[in-house]
Amino acid sequence: MRRNSKFLVISRHDYRSKRKASIHFIARELAKHGTTRFFSSAFSLLSRLTQDQRLPLWSRANRVEHLDGVDAYLWRTLAHPCKAPKFIHGAMDRFFRSYVEHAPAVLRAWIAESDMVLLESGGPEMFFDLVRRCNPTCRIGYIASDSLETIGSAHYVREVFQRVAPWFDAVYLPSELLAPVFPPACKLYFVPHGVDAGMLQASGASPYKGGVNLVSVGNMLFDPEFFEAAAPAFPDINFHVIGGGKGARKLAAPNITVYPEIAFKDTLPFLKHADAGIAPYMGNKVPAYLKHTSMKLMQYGHLGLLAICPAMMVGECKGRFGYLPGNPTSIAEAVRGALSAGRLDRLDFLSWAEVTQRIVAPEDFPDTNLN
């Protein structure tokens, strides 16, 4: 891919959201390689019912905004297609097709101008045919952030994925454990998530008022039962839950502090000054690949922070103390184990710049090829 190329990212995230996923960091780095646009879809009045994390951007939808070298556009409609009961799959599939056919002019123009279009898993698969019609020669890459089964994608999205997967120019997997969900003809590349080393090493005063502090960030597969078991077992430990979503709202123990979603950079002091990190994933829903792709666990490790997580998330990874979800005794043992172990030697990962280089030109990195 030549310098000054034009890139388009299509995602269910919005580039301006406070919560940062891997696709945000990739887009920021793409902007250093050339013109970068970020299109966010599946946002409507229905999003109010689901408490979509993009709701603070409601009034800024349907117009282009420029941030950090990236042009961002959030497409807001009256309604958007979504997962539906099996008995109305036919009607919802027709809605999906109509939704794509009514894509805004800005998306069609961005596609036509792009050298490379990146579709992120979880809905943007539905735009594959539109991309090919608007720009038959551009490269189309697929960022497989999660399996469609794990995130509960709609029937139509899964069907489109099965049909178009072999036609992606490249499929980027953050864990080799995701490979079996792809048809054999797919061009698979192993590109792990990265860490933002600069931000993680940024200074910041401790937000804690003393004592022992354990912190959890994010709401993916959030399991409140961990805290319902751990808080009473350790009344002298302070538990901090940041951005836990609706699953955290009912947590009311005196030693639990629940925070709303805050900007990524503002969570860093909480991580740097904690005694250990918690990844309270819901045990019966955790996919095996998440032990490699969990950004919170990677961030904990990069900071030298020991992690408390479900036992299946430990694997070969250093510095993790596993527990059996729903088992108070096991949870208590994991907490005690992490607190008695001190600090972890900092774990190194790829930078987001290195990750993005592998996405732009995977053929330059022979160790990424999984075929």
Residue spans of the domains in the chain: they are 5-194+351-368, 197-340
How many CB atoms lie under 10 A from the CB of residue 258? Answer: 17
User: What percentage of the chain exceeds 90 in pLDDT?
Assistant: 81
User: 5-194+351-368 has which fold?
Assistant: Rossmann fold (3.40.50)
User: Token pair for residue 9?
Assistant: 């990212």
Q: Which residues contact 222 (CB under 8 A, 6 or more apart)?
A: 244, 245, 247, 248, 280, 281, 282
Tally the residues of the chain.
371
Q: What is the pLDDT of residue 370?
A: 93
User: Given 3-state DSSP classes, what are the helix, strand and coil percentages for the chain, each rounded to the nearest 5?
Assistant: 40, 20, 40
User: Token pair for residue 152?
Assistant: 């509960």
Which whole number is the average pLDDT over 188-209?
87
- Residue 297 clears pLDDT 70, i.e. is over it: yes
Residue with tokens 């992690």: 307
Domain pair 5-194+351-368 / 197-340, same fold: yes
pTM of the full predicted structure? 0.90
Q: What is the pLDDT of residue 3?
A: 65
Q: What is the pLDDT of residue 326?
A: 93
Distance between CA atoms of residues 276 and 304, nearest Å:
9
Give yes or no for a contact between 61 and 47, defined as CB atoms under 8 angstroms apart. no
* Alpha-carbon distance values, 96 to 11, 159, 303 (Å): 16, 12, 43
Residue 240's DSSP bridge partners are 215, 257
Question: What is the separation, in whole angstroms, between the first and last Cα of the chain?
Answer: 21
Give yes or no for a contact between 344 and 319, defined as CB atoms under 8 angstroms apart. yes
Give yes or no for a contact between 121 and 143, defined as CB atoms under 8 angstroms apart. yes
pLDDT band at 346 (very low <50, low <70, confident <90, very high): confident
- Residue 284 clears pLDDT 90, i.e. is over it: no
Q: What is the pLDDT of residue 4?
A: 76
**Does domain 197-340 match CATH 1.20.58.1000?**
no
Q: What is the pLDDT of residue 2?
A: 60
Q: What is the pLDDT of residue 196?
A: 86
Left if phi > 0, otherwise alpha if psi is -120 to 50, otherwise beta: which for 54?
alpha
Mean pLDDT score of the chain = 93
Catalytic, 129? Answer no
Which whole number is the average pLDDT over 284-307?
90
Which whole number is the average pLDDT over 89-97?
95
Q: What is the pLDDT of residue 263?
A: 86
The sign of the dihedral angle between the CA atoms of 316, 295, 47, 90 is negative
- Considering the candidates 14, 71, 93, 146, report the single residue annotated as catalytic: 146
Distance between CA atoms of residues 224 and 104, nearest Å:
40
